[in-house]
Amino acid sequence: MEAVLLILQQQELYAKLSKCSFGATEVDYLGHKLRGFLVLTGYYRRFIKGYPHIAAPLTHMLKKDNFAWKAEAETAFNQLKTAMTVAPVLALPNFTQPFILETDASGIGIGAVLGQGDIP
């Protein structure tokens, strides 16, 4: 830490003490961790059936002055954690076989899954 601060001082760069944390194991600011989790899961949303519906309670919490962890948020968080740790079945398409398109829509999102045979 001392070496970093010395280099900053040599380059005439300064850290604002009120914005620094030393020796902290983690830092959270206004749901930053939750946003990061939603960004990660959102990247894989196409592989999580019903993602918009599942994530809705967490997304709702990110609105201004609405950050309150409730039972619905806990359930959504656990469902998304599970979905992220269970590998989806992905396979190359067989163009000699018919495709099956499953769609789903709600007031908060729309989704679709393209499958073949017994593999969704």
Query: For residue 120, is it within any domain?
Result: no
Identify the three-state secondary structure at position 116: strand
Write out the residue range of the structural domain in which residue 66 sits.
2-115
Residue 100 dihedral angles phi and psi, to the nearest 5°? -120, 125
pLDDT (tens, 9 = 90+) of the chain, 120 residues, equals 788 888 888 988 887 888 777 777 766 554 557 888 888 888 888 888 889 999 999 999 888 888 888 899 999 999 998 988 876 656 678 899 899 888 888 888 888 888 887 654
Helix (H) or strand (E) holding 102: strand 100-105
Tokens (6 digits) for 104: 């789903």
Q: What total number of domains does the chain contain?
A: 1
Query: For residue 84, is it within any domain?
Result: yes
Task: Indicate whether this model's pTM tops 0.75.
Answer: no
